[in-house]
Structure formats: C-alpha cells, structure tokens
Amino acid sequence: MAHGKETPRQKMIGMMYLVLTALLALNVATSVLDAFKIIDEGLEKTIKTVVNKNSDVYSDFREAYAINQSKTARWLALAQQVKIRSDSLYSYVQHLKMHVLDEAEPGRSAAIKGDTIYRDEIKATTDYDTPNRIMIGRELNEKSEATKLRKEIESYREYLLSLIPSVNTKLRASIEKSLDTESPAAKKKSGKPEERTWEFHKFSHSPLMGFLAIMSSQQLNIRNAESEVINYLYSQISAGEVKFNELEAVVIPATNYVIKGNEYIADIYLAARDTTQDPVIWIAEGVKEPWVEKTDEIGNTYIDKKEGINYTQLDVVHGSGKGVFTRPGTSTGFKQWGGIIEITGPGGEAIRRPFSGEYQVAEGGVVVSPIRMNVFYLGVDNPVEISVAGVPGSQVSAEATNGSLTPSAGKYVMRPKRLGNSMINVYVDLDGKKKNVGSKEFRVKQVPDPYATVGGKKGGFITKSELIAQTGVAAVMPPDFEFDLNFTVTEFQVLAVISGFAKPYNSRSNRFTQEQKNLFNSLSKGTPIYIQDIKAVGPDGTIRPLSTIDFKVN
C-alpha cells in the first residue's frame, strides 16, 4: 500500500491486493488435502483393527460366562454396558461427520452411501466454513455441536474412570489422555480466552477433509479407551485366583488290585501345580481323614490338623511344586493315608486343602502322559512319557494313530500328521506275546499364533532412543506355550503421522529398513507410530498375520 494521499485507482489496486492475499491464505495445497485423506484412511484401518481386537475380548467374555456364570456375570454386565456407551458415542461422532459433509455438499453428498463415507467422492474438500458453522456457529455456547460433543466425551471418560480403581493409576492416566478435552492453548495459558477451548482448537480452522480426519481420530480414541477398559474388566474374572503354571495328565485308579470278574475303574484328569513356590505337606498314615474343619471369629471356615494324630512333613523337591509320597511295599494289604497341603495365596494368606488316599500292594495301571501339555501340536516334537507299573521299560511299546511315535532317550516323541485326535495304544510283551494294556486319546491342535514385539514390547509408550536401538520386529510365542518354537517375521509396514503427513514404509524382512530408521530419528514426543500388516512364517510353513503394534513416542 502507498503512503500519504492515494488516488482512487491506487486505493482500488490496494484493495484488490488485500482480497487476493486473503484468498491465497484460505487456499489449501492439494498435497495437504491428500495428506488429510491418507491420515483418515489410516485411522479407519486402525479403528477396524481395534474393533476386531475388542470383538475377540467380548467373545472371551461369553466363553468365560458359559463356563462359570457366577464368576463372570458381574464383569460381563459391565463390559456390555461399556460396549453400549462406546457404540453410542462412536455413532454420535459418525452422525456429526455425515451432517457436516451433507451440509458442505447440499442435496445429499455423493460421498455418503448408507453409513459409509467415500473420500474420493468428496468435492468440497477445502470448505473451511461448514465445519466451523455446524460445530461452533456464530459464537461458541452450550448449544454448539462442538460443546455437546465435548460434554459427551467427558461423560464417557468419567464413566470409564468410575470402573477403574484409583490405585490403577497407569490405566486411569491412559484413559484421561486418550479422551482429553483440554486444548494445548489452555494448558499453556496462551492466546485469547475463546482460543483456549477444546472446541476452537479442534474445529475453528479445519477444512472439510481435515475435519473428517479429526473426527476419525476421536473415534479411534473411543475404541482404544473401550479396549483398555474391557481388557481390564476381563482380567478381573480371575483376579485373586491362585495361579498355576504347569498341567499334567493324571490317571488315578480306584484300586490297583482287581479280582477277576470285577471292574477296573480309574479317574483321568488334569492336575495343576505352581512350580514357583514349594507347598508344605503334612502326612498322616492309617487315618482316612486326618483333618478337621474349623470356623474363625468372623465366620470363615478353614482346615486344621486333628489333635492326637502323628503328622510327618513330606519332603518337597524345590521348584517342582509337588511332593512325592513313597512307602515300600513290605507287606500286603489295604493301606489308608492322607493329610493337608498348604500354599500361599495371592494375598499372602495360607490356603489349605485336605487330601486322602488308599492303596493296596499290587500291580498298578498304565500311565500315558504328555510331558509338556495335554494336547499334541502339529509341526513340533511332542515328548511323551509312557510306562506300565511293575513292567520294565524294555517290555513296553506303544503305537499312535494320526502320527508317528518313536522312542527317544527313555521316552517317546509324537509327531502328529493332521488336526483332530490321536489315540496312543500301549502294549506289554508278556511271555513273548504282545498284549494291549491301555489306550489314551489326545487332541491334535495347530501351534498357536505368536504375537509381534519390538524390543520385547507389544505396544504402549516407547522412548525414541529405545525405538532407534531396535533392529526389527520379532514374533514371540505366548508365555504359556512351553515348546521351543520359533516364528520368523517376513514383512511389515511402519506408519507414523508427522506434521499432518502419514509416513508409511514397508519392510520385506524382519528387520527395520534404513528408511524406517530415518523415520524413527525424525519422531517427536507424543507421535503415534503403528507397525502393522505383520506376517510371520512358522516351522510348519504356515504364514500367520499378527496383530498391529501401537506405540506412542514418550
């Protein structure tokens, strides 16, 4: 603009220059709009991943309820209420997206088909006015859609927090951060008062495509918060239970001595034990029930020793989680024995259980026991112990259906051929004749899927230096899978959003590429990063898709 007195022509030129400058300022580069589109597509893909994970948890709830209604009912009811609240808020955000898009392209936008938005069909991508007009209006007040949305998010956040005890500070902090409705300007106490609101921060300066990405981000936050809470609720089903880390197939006959013409009866079940702590075991012989049930001053019942009975403490091999009761068969006849076993509960309390047994000095039964699990797995060597009481191992042999069973170092190795069942038949060589003395059926299952990790983490917060120090993505078997088995990651994609741009980079191995490492170097604190589309191959040749790893740079 010229200084001093101006001619009408100069004033007109100056005015046109101001208008042109304003128009240029409002214009949005196509690359920026494309970035918003890519971000929105990436958010939608991540939302689907989280929804699928949540569906698995709800399915686990239903299965747990079918097994034990009394333990599961309360937590299932809460999870169902969380789902209702989450779906309602998610649908409300989707409604606002549809409403703004429809207003931006009057006459029903071609981009709206049912409940789905097709981004490629959006024409008014640079529309700044409509998101601001619909969400804020002429002035921000209680009737503004942005205000209503903020209050809905806050109500949802407070409801979720009401389900989490105050001692669980980490989970509460994560939910508060995901559903935060305070603007950065308010935290810094900068800018004009109206600019310090969450509403202005989210909706006052966004083109239509940017508005859609912002709303998709809110929907992802809703699904992530839902995921964290229902996983917590599911964990409460078994809270306080005694944890066992080893299962063993057990065969216990009613008696090992069978008179001809009578039946041989045996119980077969899985026995669980905790090898991380040694139980205390008291034994009394010649007594059927060497214990008494008592009641304390507040009405709780507990097991205690009987007076006048001589108890001995059974030696326990450290780390085995069990005691072994042995007595020489020096005399024939019927023997009774029993006692009390004690372990320390999760709260430090003593947990006691009574037991009793009886035996007769006579030939025993057949034991067929998988060493590690109660099933056989495809593609791995399944070790099995097979023995017949009173018969030397050299006279015992075994055969299996649906697989090969071969002797190995005094035991057997089972290699199943296909999914289904496998029957192991045990034989004894008596007087030169092969006699079947027992059979046992096992399930044959596929090796469970591994989960993906980076530096031993499955997601959450990670420091930039920790991320840069990693070499790639690893496939790790679940901790309760006891076989030494390795899966190898064959490909994955790294996606991060930096300065409004989505940065996807692919790797065709289990190692980070140089481009991915450069991406890590450029990350700033608070940046979300997703490692997705992960595939791994197992020893059986099957390719397994693994879950997405969601990190946030800390």
Query: Is residue 33 one of the residues assigned to a domain?
Result: yes
Domain co-membership, 189 together with 91: yes
For the segment 75-103, the average pLDDT, to the nearest whole number, is: 91
- Determine the Cα–Cα distance for residues 516 and 532; give it in Å rounded to an integer: 13
Domain boundary among 446, 468, 489: 446
pLDDT number for residue 423 = 92
* pLDDT range class, residue 77, cuts 50, 70, 90: very high
Cβ neighbours around 115 below 10 Å, total: 9
Round to whole Å and give the CA distance between 23 and 13: 15
Does residue 133 lie within any of the structural domains? yes
CB 412 within 8 A of CB 425: no
Is residue 4 assigned to a domain? no
Backbone phi, psi, residue 429, to 5°: -90, 105
Q: Which of 73-77, 292-296, 423-427, 465-469 has the lowest mean pLDDT?
A: 292-296
Q: Which pLDDT does position 98 carry in this prediction?
A: 84
Tell me which residue of 318, 316, 359 sits closest to 337, measured CA to CA: 359
pLDDT greater at residue 177 or residue 391: 177
Question: Is position 339 within any domain?
Answer: yes
Q: Please tell me what DSSP assigns to residue 263.
A: P
Q: Using pLDDT thresholds of 50, 70 and 90, give the confidence band for residue 19.
A: very low
The CATH number assigned to the domain holding 478 equals 2.60.40
Answer yes or no: is 251 within a domain: no
Does 87 share its domain with 198?
yes
Residue with tokens 């002429």: 138
Same domain for 48 and 168: yes
Mean pLDDT of 316-333: 75
What pLDDT is recorded for position 5?
Answer: 56
For the cut 60, the answer to whether the pLDDT of residue 523 exceeds it is yes
pLDDT digits (tens, 9 = 90+) for 499-508: 778 889 999 9
Q: Measured in Å, how far apart are the chain's first and last C-alpha atoms?
A: 49
Q: List, in sequence order, every residue forming a beta bridge with 492; answer none if it has no partner.
A: 507
Q: Any idea of the CA torsion for 190, 196, 198, 202, to the nearest 10 degrees?
A: -70
Q: Pick the last residue of a domain from 342, 361, 380.
A: 361
Rounded alpha-carbon distances, angstroms, from residue 509 to 471, 475, 512, 542: 11, 12, 8, 16
Residue at a domain's end among 219, 238, 257 = 238
**Chain centroid to CA 235: how far?**
10
Least reliable range by pLDDT among 212-226, 349-363, 459-473: 349-363
Per-residue pLDDT of 480-495, as tens digits, reads: 887 878 899 999 999 9
Q: Does 532 share its domain with 459?
A: yes
Q: What is the CATH number of the domain that holds 369?
A: 2.60.40.1080
Tally of CB atoms within 10 A around 382: 23
Length of the chain: 554
Higher pLDDT, 350 or 399: 399
Strand order through the sheet with 433-445 = 375-377, 433-445, 420-430, 396-400
CB within 8 A of 531, min separation 6: which ones?
452, 454, 473, 492, 493, 494, 495, 548, 549, 551
Query: What's the pLDDT at 490?
Result: 95
In three-state secondary structure terms, 386 is strand
Three-class secondary structure of residue 261 per DSSP: coil
pLDDT digit string (tens) for 220-270?
A: 999 999 999 999 999 888 765 656 667 677 666 655 544 333 355 667 767
Lowest mean per-residue pLDDT among 45-54, 118-127, 385-394, 529-538: 118-127
Residues 231 and 352 in one domain: no
How many domains is the chain partitioned into structurally?
4
For residue 253, tell me if it sits in a domain: no
Domain match, 81 and 165 both? yes
User: Do 342 and 373 fall within a single domain?
Assistant: no
Instruction: Say if residue 30 is in the same domain as residue 131.
Output: yes
Same domain, 206 and 109: yes
Residues 183 and 307 in one domain: no
Question: Are 526 and 434 within 8 A, CB to CB?
Answer: no
What percent of the chain shows pLDDT beyond 70?
Answer: 80
Query: Burial code of 410-432, b = ≥16 C-beta within 10 A, e = fewer?
Result: eebebbbeeeeebebbbbbeeee
What percentage of the chain reaches a pLDDT higher than 90? 31
Answer yes or no: is 254 within a domain.
no
| Residue range 64-72: mean pLDDT, rounded | 89
pLDDT of residue 253: 64
Q: Return contacts of 310-313, CB within 8 angstroms, 24+ apart.
A: 310/284, 311/282, 311/283, 311/284, 311/339, 312/282, 312/283, 312/284, 313/280, 313/281, 313/282, 313/283
**What pLDDT, on a 0 to 100 scale, did the predictor assign at position 347?**
45
Per the prediction, the chain carries an average pLDDT of 81
Q: Are residue 352 and residue 409 in the same domain, yes or no?
A: no
Question: Is residue 158 in a domain?
Answer: yes
Domain that holds residue 438: 365-446
**Same structural domain, 51 and 197:** yes
- Look at phi and psi of residue 240 and say left if phi exceeds 0, alpha if psi is from -120 to 50, else beta: left
